[in-house]
Amino acid sequence: MLRTLRRWLFGAAESPVVTDEQWQRVEAGLPFLDYLPAERRPHLRALALDFLNQKTFHGAHGLVLTDDILLAIALQACLPILNTGLDAYRDWVGVVVYAGDFVIARTEMDEDGVVHEYDDPVLGEAWPDGPVIVSWQAREHVDGLNVVIHEFAHKLDMCNGQADGFPPLPADMRRADWARIFTAAYEDFCYRVDHGLPHAIDAYAAESPAEFFAVISEAFFETPLKLRAAYPAAYAQLKRLYGLDPAAGANPSPPRGSNAVEP
């Protein structure tokens, strides 16, 4: 099927051939898709195929990109834009996939004006007007963590400039509400991390408002009940942004360890 899909991607075939068995196999490795209403699954699949048609994939360091890898990445990348469509990803084309983590050379100036150069091992990176880079190894399931959704949330955030935790909002959402709710949630989360208190999402979210948005988006799709219990107002904003309510399709048993209180 890889040859068929490749021919389609380059315009030599009218449509891709993805069997029900392959869809089911790939989706079984993405258990959070079970939170999606059944009637939305065909639309996600169609959007994923359109995404593959529009983007160029490259396996770094000899990684062979199988059909299953391509489909899995596309399905996850399209979750944040399921209701808005691929226009949000229109200004770039490249997706680079590493087998494991990779190193990016960084340059940073300290408060004294001294420039420091260092190598930063990462699992993903999203560049403004450039490619999305992800680690395939990072797909191994850990509750609440999803490097593909994380990086594509950054891309969504970048649609109105640099990633800052303030993505473009639908017309029926108020910017003032988003700013107030996410500022309060971010400040509460940073306080919890700084003081060693329980927190509902990965501590990396405390790095910046942009990382908070990307990490909380991971949790929205991966561990929605836990996120909703910890930050109900922020969850409600993400529900409106993404046009989805994963918690409604999740196991209704109460989550454990989610005792953050939203201001």
Instruction: Report the length, in residues, of the chain.
Output: 263
Residues of the chain with pLDDT under 70: 1-16, 100-125, 127, 138-144, 251-263
In whole angstroms, give the CA distance from residue 155 to residue 61.
24
Residue 257 φ then ψ, to 5°: 75, 20
pLDDT at 21: 95
Q: What is the pLDDT, as a whole number, of residue 120?
A: 43
Residues 122-148: pLDDT tens digits?
A: 566 676 778 899 988 754 555 668 999
Residue 62 in tokens = 């000899």
Sheet containing 94-98: which strands, arranged edge to edge? 56-59, 94-98, 132-135, 124-126
Residue 141 has what pLDDT? 54
Query: How high is the pLDDT of residue 256?
Result: 41
Confidence at residue 136, expressed as pLDDT on a 0 to 100 scale: 84
Q: What is the distance between the alpha carbons of residues 181 and 174, in angstroms, rounded to a whole number?
A: 11
- The CATH code that applies to domain 1-159 is 1.10.472.150
- pLDDT in the model for residue 199: 93
Residue-wise pLDDT for 231-244, tens only, equals 999 999 999 999 99
- Which pLDDT score, from 0 to 100, does residue 16 have? 60
Q: What is the pTM of this model?
A: 0.83
Q: What is the pLDDT of residue 250?
A: 83
Q: What is the reported pLDDT for 252?
A: 55
Task: Give the Å distances, CA to CA, from 163 to 80, 105, 127, 132, 209.
Answer: 15, 20, 10, 14, 9
Given this model, what pLDDT does residue 36 score? Answer: 93
Query: Start-end ranges of CATH 1.10.472.150 in the chain?
Result: 1-159
Given CATH 3.40.350.10, say whether it is the number of domain 164-263. no
Q: Where in the chain is the domain with CATH 3.40.390.10?
A: 164-263
- The pLDDT of residue 26 is 95
In 3D space, the residue among 80, 232, 86 whose CA is nearest the CA of residue 154 turns out to be: 80
Contact 256, 245 (CB under 8 A): no
